[in-house]
Structure 1
Amino acid sequence: MHNFQANYDKILKVLKELDFKMDYLHQIRKPKLRDKELIAVDLTSEYMGVDSECQLFRILPAGLSRKIERSVYNRRKRKLFPFRESLRKVLVKRLNTSEYCFIVDSMPLEVCKLSRSSRSKICKEQDYSLPEKGYCASQSSHYYGYKLHPACSARGVIESMGISPTSVHDINYLKDMRQQLSDCVLLGDRGCLSAEYQLNLSESHNIRLEIPMRKNQHNYKE
């Protein structure tokens, strides 16, 4: 759908069903555009693939654009991220109520093109979060950025996700799975192959890690 107002109305309706609160930030004067309405605008722009604030405010319906200025929108959007994330978790919990099987994998999260990496200033404010150069075997290409580790249900609903440096092996992300999942089956690729991790996940949180075996492994099975 290309109608911003129609998409916005549907998303706002779902958000209202998840939580009755309309405002999350403490403000002396009640804003014209309520906090939940602002989150709905943000989610609608992402759903429609609008990745520029200039473009967003060009297509924003007059009834919404009159309620907030662009600079204020950007500032409030950043402050509302934790509340947006809590709404996402409530929605995921409802959608994945009966799910017991999840798929974990990694994918490249590119910050900029490799040729611009030396000049890029993105995410370089703190030393501990610097992007790195990495290699994606599935795409046979080098990239500059991070690794994204999503865990999704068989229906395609993302249960959890994490970001790591490109130098961190996929298997190390399984440590975080213990805080995010339990009593389920976790499917991974050969990058997660480890008898030690399989045993640890099973004993600590009843997570059965299923990974295809390598052909040169002992007791190989299809």
Structure 2
Amino acid sequence: MKTELDSLATALYVKTDDLLKGSPQFSPWRPAVGIAPRLSDAELVTLAMMQAMLGFTSEARWLRHAHTHLRHLFPYLPKQPGYNKRLRKAAELVRRVTRALASDTTLWTDDVWVVDSTPVECGRSRETVKRSDLAGWAEYGYCASHSRFFWGLRLHLVCTLQGLPVAFALTGAKADERETLLDLLAVEPHLIGERPSQILIGDKNYFGREFERQLAELDMRLRPQGRGRARRITAVQAAAAGHRVDQRDLQGTTRSRTPPRPHTRRRGRPCPAAHPRTHRRDLAQRPHRPAGHAGTDRLRPLNPLE
């Protein structure tokens, strides 16, 4: 297998161009009469895929890198504003190509999935909540892992044991995780048809008799059945047995803690005793009196002769 950059770019371009020729409806809408773009849709998707694979988070920095090192592969490279506008319009095409590339890998046919959700915080101050354009979408919710409330959305993700995303959804912060998973499976029914007897691994928020019954009707099993940490680790290891995932990643760290070593400078030297002193909070308190000491001994009858 060749791992050079030119071969990767060529393979991505051929794959995207074949997809667009077979399904031209995936291309962004463009008027019949007008100026033809100098950068084709297949080249745009190839450029975006290579940016993600090479780890460039800045579009301007990526385009400077492409002008320097990839000029022989792309006859025309747009500037950053035009590149950003083209990518926004081709978001659906990029998603289709990503799914096509993922389905060609061996990880796509894995029979074990991991499902979970994570909070996506969109604002903290009250003024931000009032002025945000996400009003109506974002809402207040509670994150049990961080033990705090947040305002925003919740990202639901289904992926393989190796980390390949299968399906995802953005919902409100109070959306039920079980209902969201059922909606994801209903929107994309081909995910279930391609994988009989699929195994799902989730936390305690995904357990329930009615929910497990609905998954059983879809020929899917939910593991682990227990809610304890030890039983969860055992069930994950049993579900991942025979797969290409390393068992050490599931067991966590096995390194034992090193016992503290004595200080070399103070070895054999006696430690001086701490000087006893009154605690600061007790400075304003009265001295302690014995239990048998009554408070009336300080009172004496008044003698009119004195």
TM, length-normalised to structure 1: 0.75
Gaps of 5+ in 1: 1-5, 216-220
Q: Pick one of 186, 204, 216 that aligns with 1:190.
A: 204
Q: Pick one of 68, 75, 78 that aligns with 1:68.
A: 78
The aligned counterpart of 1:79 is 89
Q: Distance in 2 between matches of 1:158 and 1:11?
A: 22
- 1:46–1:133 Cα change, 3 Å: farther
Contact preservation (8 Å) 2:169, 2:184: no
The aligned counterpart of 2:39 is 33
Gaps of 5+ in 2: 229-233, 236-306
The aligned counterpart of 1:140 is 147
Q: Distance in 1 between matches of 2:63 and 2:151?
A: 30
Q: Pick one of 85, 93, 103 that aligns with 2:103.
A: 93
The aligned counterpart of 2:138 is 131
Higher strand share: 1
Q: CA deviation at 1:7?
A: 5.8
- 1:214–1:98 Cα change, 3 Å: closer
Contact preservation (8 Å) 2:12, 2:46: no
RMSD across aligned C-alpha pairs, in angstroms? Answer: 3.2
Q: CA deviation at 1:66?
A: 5.3
- 1:166–1:97 Cα change, 3 Å: closer
**What is the SS of the residue equivalent to 2:97?**
helix
Contact preservation (8 Å) 1:12, 1:36: no
The aligned counterpart of 2:11 is 13
1:206 aligns with 2:234: no
**Larger radius of gyration between Structure 1 and Structure 2:** 2
Deviates more, 1:144-153 or 1:172-181: 172-181
The aligned counterpart of 1:218 is none
Q: CA deviation at 1:32?
A: 1.8
Q: Distance in 2 between matches of 1:50 and 1:31?
A: 24
Q: Distance in 1 between matches of 2:6 and 2:130?
A: 38
Contact preservation (8 Å) 1:151, 1:159: yes
1:153 aligns with 2:160: yes
Q: CA deviation at 1:139?
A: 2.8
Q: Pick one of 33, 43, 46 that aligns with 2:49.
A: 43
The residue identity in structure 2 corresponding to 1:185 is: I
Contact preservation (8 Å) 2:108, 2:164: no
The one-character-per-residue Cα deviations of 1:186-208 (angstroms, maximum 9, x if unpaired) are: 111100011111111211x2111
- 1:73–1:18 Cα change, 3 Å: closer
Percent of aligned positions that are identical: 22
The aligned counterpart of 2:114 is 103
The residue identity in structure 1 corresponding to 2:84 is: N
| Matched residues, number | 206
Contact preservation (8 Å) 2:16, 2:42: no
